[in-house]
Chain A
């Protein structure tokens, strides 16, 4: 069964510190992996999309890595800010195709950044 597991479930860090969120998946065949940021009560916003051939991708202070062999991805946040407080959702697409039903969502990691 295609699944996406994220850890930790929640995380509290101090402003200015770095953190790393994990995503493990059992999706096959693999097409691409996406990270979204979702503020409480709002829609998710895309951070990165990575295909099989990409090992790392950055978007400002956010850096995503992908190891397609071990089926793991991480999202590293550098010099955290209060505005980084949100849920971070990992989404994996199981193959090239038109239906959005091929996107498998993780439950997300809830990050709280404290002053």
Chain B
């Protein structure tokens, strides 16, 4: 157990809808990052939040957005869903210190299917 929990575990949406995925980070961690993992591929970095501010973003369009709350939990929001958004969405928490990318602790993921 990594202490990182994600919800929901599975969900099905239709094209054009919006979805919110949630992540509770490990106690004491100040950084949350989100990844999209298509079937048979490695995780692709979406963005990272450090102390409630986005401080890194991968090659994803603006319809992918997020939040980090004062308790360091986080949300990933995806608007105008497309079929290609179907994937496993992973959340990872870490304790970032100056000059060092901390060890990542992943949640079990949220499996999104877009029909």
Interface residues of A (CB under 8 A from B): 31-32, 34, 36, 41-46, 49, 89, 93, 96-103, 105-108
Cα-based distance from A41 to B112 in the complex (angstroms): 12
Q: How large is the interface on B (under 10, 10 to 19, 20 to 34, 35 or more residues)?
A: 20 to 34
Cα-based distance from A108 to B41 in the complex (angstroms): 7
Interface residues of B (CB under 8 A from A): 2, 4, 31, 33, 40-45, 47-48, 50, 55-58, 88, 90, 92, 94, 96, 98-101, 103-109, 111
Interface Cβ pair total, 8 Å cutoff? 78
Measured CB to CB, the closest approach of chain B to A8, in angstroms, equals 14
Cα-based distance from A42 to B6 in the complex (angstroms): 11
Cα-based distance from A89 to B115 in the complex (angstroms): 29
- State whether A45 and B45 are in contact (beta carbons under 8 Å apart), knowing that A31-B101, A99-B55 are contacts in the complex: no
- State whether A99 and B106 are in contact (beta carbons under 8 Å apart), knowing that A31-B101, A89-B42, A105-B43 are contacts in the complex: no
